[in-house]
């Protein structure tokens, strides 16, 4: 019996999350279900995909069930992928792609279609309850193999996720963007310590940070305790990315910053952001 890790944008004000837990418990009563989070922004595939990617290495190998699905009611497929970590189940909209890539890529992807593993709905299909939840549960229990769920899909036909790339701004700086604002108001960027190092910067330095055309000085520190309360700082966050924080405060409110805010680091400089695809074939 494999554990199931479950992520969605269903929120916690309805019975939606509970009903999916119920469906899993009816099919696989012994399966442990871990809630990775259910309050990701509605329909925000990129934010949710990145959260799943950050989380995946800490989740017990088994089944990852992810449902953030702005395209429900259109023609997008329901897919399941087999990877070295275990199985991934969710919509074919890029949501699974970064996490699948980071665990080594998928060697088999199927389109979930077999009616034996779907629940009938009285009206419109609630995909989390009727399609994805049952598929995750039968994979967890071993009641079905991934091949049983439906026909194999060409990996090249699966929707990748477009992740914004960091890029030199042509004026000696590095242009990135905010990927996520956490519960504490910290802003994770797509900029790595290596990107800053390529500008000749290192931990302990003052950095020029440009947001909305405003340049500020900020310390790249090893710990919150290195700056005064209320002061901003850059640090390498617990996932290894450069993050903007405020000691005893909220960086999102102080600067302000939100998901997708452009942010340039330099000794000076600036430019625009290209994208590169994440695919299910691995990094």
Site residues, a copy of itself (CB under 8 A) = 3, 5, 7, 10-19, 21-23, 25-26, 29, 32, 34-40, 42-43, 51-52, 54-55, 58-60, 70-75, 121-126, 129-130, 182-184, 193, 222-226, 235-241, 247-248
Q: Which is nearer to a copy of itself, 82 or 129 (CB)?
A: 129
The length of the chain, given as a count of residues: 283
* Least distance (Å) between residue 51 CB and a copy of itself: 5
Q: List the beta strands (DSSP E) in 70-212.
A: 78-82, 87-91, 108-111, 161-164, 167-168, 174-181, 187-189, 206-211
* Least distance (Å) between residue 202 CB and a copy of itself: 14
The 8-class DSSP code of residue 75 comes to: S
Q: Which is nearer to a copy of itself, 86 or 269 (CB)?
A: 86
Q: Which is nearer to a copy of itself, 199 or 269 (CB)?
A: 199
What DSSP assignment string belongs to 13-46?
Answer: SSSHHHHHHHHHHHH-TT--EEEEES-SPTT-HH
CB 212, CB 223: distance < 8 Å: no
Site of tokens 């259109």: 74
* Least distance (Å) between residue 143 CB and a copy of itself: 16
Q: Which is nearer to a copy of itself, 36 or 161 (CB)?
A: 36
Q: Which is nearer to a copy of itself, 233 or 269 (CB)?
A: 233
* Least distance (Å) between residue 60 CB and a copy of itself: 4
The 8-class DSSP code of residue 118 comes to: S
Q: Which is nearer to a copy of itself, 169 or 179 (CB)?
A: 179
Instruction: Quote the tokens at residue 240.
Output: 């290894």
* Least distance (Å) between residue 262 CB and a copy of itself: 22
* Least distance (Å) between residue 224 CB and a copy of itself: 3
In whole angstroms, give the CA distance from residue 222 to residue 124: 52
| CA torsion through residues 23, 131, 53, 68, sign | negative
Is the backbone of residue 51 left (phi > 0), alpha (psi -120 to 50) or beta?
alpha
């Amino acid at each position: 019996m494999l554990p199931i890790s479950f992520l969605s944008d269903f929120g916690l004000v309805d019975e939606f999350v509970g009903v999916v837990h119920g469906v899993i418990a009816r099919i696989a009563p012994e399966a442990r279900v871990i809630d990775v989070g259910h309050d990701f922004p509605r329909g925000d595939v990129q934010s949710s995909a990145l959260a799943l990617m950050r989380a995946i290495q800490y989740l017990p190998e088994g089944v990852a069930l992810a449902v953030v699905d702005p395209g429900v009611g259109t023609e997008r497929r329901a897919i399941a992928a087999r990877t070295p970590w275990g199985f991934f189940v969710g919509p074919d909209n890029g949501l699974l792609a970064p996490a699948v890539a980071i665990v080594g890529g998928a060697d088999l992807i199927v389109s979930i279609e077999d009616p034996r593993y779907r629940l009938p709905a009285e009206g419109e299909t609630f995909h989390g309850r009727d399609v994805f939840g049952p598929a995750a549960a039968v994979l967890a229990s071993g009641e079905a193999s991934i091949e049983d769920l439906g026909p194999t899909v060409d990996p090249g036909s699966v929707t990748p996720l477009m992740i914004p790339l960091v890029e030199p701004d042509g004026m000696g700086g590095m242009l990135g963007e905010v990927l996520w604002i956490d519960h504490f108001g910290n802003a994770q960027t797509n900029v790595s310590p290596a990107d800053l190092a390529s500008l000749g910067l290192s931990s302990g330095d003052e950095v020029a940070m440009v947001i909305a055309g405003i340049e500020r000085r900020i310390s790249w520190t090893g710990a919150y305790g290195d700056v005064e309360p209320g002061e901003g700082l850059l640090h390498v966050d617990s996932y290894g990315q450069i993050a903007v924080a405020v000691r005893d405060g909220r960086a999102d409110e102080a600067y302000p910053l939100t998901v997708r805010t452009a942010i340039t680091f330099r000794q000076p400089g600036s430019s625009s952001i290209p994208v590169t695809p994440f695919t299910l074939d691995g990094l």
